[in-house]
């Protein structure tokens, strides 16, 4: 571990990975209980269009993807609430159309764009100080929002009708959760990539749900699992010379398998 910390790029990678792992795990607990797991995958793939737009316009791809995906996330929420179209159907439509937009923009640019490969499959070792600053700011925003509105979000997740009767702005809280999911997912594509980021949103929360029963302990367990899986996956990828994003996802998947096995043994005992 001392060897890892001797490199500046590894220090940034470990810091970014730790922040991303905890942030995605925490928001993932709210997302899976609200039924927004597929939303995470849809936003992740929509970010392909945002990154391509940033490269096409010559601006920071991550900032372009944040703005683009916030528009996509809010559009999905608005259409699913105001039309007869199911939420998963709307996500599927945007999933395909935003990917198509990204491919179209890449075709207009012409030539090979090496930056895009890093966003597709993750490039945590290439995290810059500016990237780390943005990730830290985003993690702080997500943490503050969950701290301030966490109880209200939990209320609307488990008893939406009761929350509405109690006078809570259920639609606003829904869009807040969509916004937090969007920010968390887009800020994570540099670490694990567009293809794999939804796994870090869902898997730690799913593993924690196997180990704990109440919401508070699930949040704590998910954060620990997200942190351990990203740091250990990054370390293993460094030592084994493997793809960092894929290694992180496989580590957290093994943790989920172990937690599911433990739950099965406990239930059968």
Q: CA-based angle 162:164:169, to the nearest 5?
A: 140
Which tens digits make up the pLDDT trace of 104-118? 888 887 765 666 777
Q: CA 237 → CA 6, 77, 192, distances in Å?
A: 16, 37, 12
CATH of domain 2-260: 1.10.3470.10
Write the pLDDT tens digit of every residue in 186-240.
Answer: 888 877 888 788 889 999 999 999 998 889 899 999 999 999 999 999 889 888 8
What are the residue ranges spanned by the domains of the chain?
2-260
State mean pLDDT over 18-37. Answer: 91
Confidence of residue 149 (pLDDT cuts 50, 70, 90): very high
Measured distance CA(219)–CA(207) in Å, rounded? 11
Q: Which positions ≥6 away from 150 have C-beta within 8 Å?
A: none
Residue 244 pLDDT grade (very low, low, confident, very high; cuts 50, 70, 90): confident
pTM of this structure: 0.89
Please check the confidence at residue 129 and state whether its pLDDT lies above 90.
no
Predicted pLDDT at 4: 63
């Amino acid at each position: 571990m001392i060897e890892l910390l001797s490199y500046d790029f590894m220090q940034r990678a470990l810091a970014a990975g730790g922040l991303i792992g905890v942030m995605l795990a925490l928001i993932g607990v709210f997302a899976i209980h609200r039924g927004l797991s597929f939303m995470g995958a849809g936003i992740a793939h929509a970010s392909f269009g945002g990154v391509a737009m940033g490269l096409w316009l010559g601006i920071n791809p991550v900032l372009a993807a944040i703005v683009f995906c916030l528009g996509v996330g809010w559009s999905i929420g608005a259409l699913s609430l105001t039309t007869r179209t199911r939420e998963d159907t709307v996500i599927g439509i945007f999933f395909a159309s935003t990917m198509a937009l990204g491919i179209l923009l890449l075709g207009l640019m012409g030539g090979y764009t090496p930056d895009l490969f890093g966003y597709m499959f993750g490039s945590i070792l290439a995290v810059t100080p500016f990237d780390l600053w943005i990730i830290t700011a985003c993690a702080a925003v997500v943490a503050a929002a969950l701290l301030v509105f966490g109880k209200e979000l939990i209320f609307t997740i488990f008893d939406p009708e009761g929350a509405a009767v109690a006078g809570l702005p259920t639609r606003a809280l829904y869009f807040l959760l969509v916004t937090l999911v969007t920010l968390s997912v887009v800020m994570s594509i540099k670490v694990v990539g567009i293809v794999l980021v939804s796994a870090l949103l869902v898997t730690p929360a799913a593993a924690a749900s196997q180990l704990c029963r109440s919401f508070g302990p699930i949040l704590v367990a998910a954060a620990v699992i997200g942190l351990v899986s990203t740091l250990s996956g990054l370390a293993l990828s460094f030592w084994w010379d493997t793809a960092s994003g894929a290694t992180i996802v496989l580590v957290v998947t093994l943790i989920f398998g172990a937690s599911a096995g433990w739950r099965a043994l406990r239930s059968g005992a």
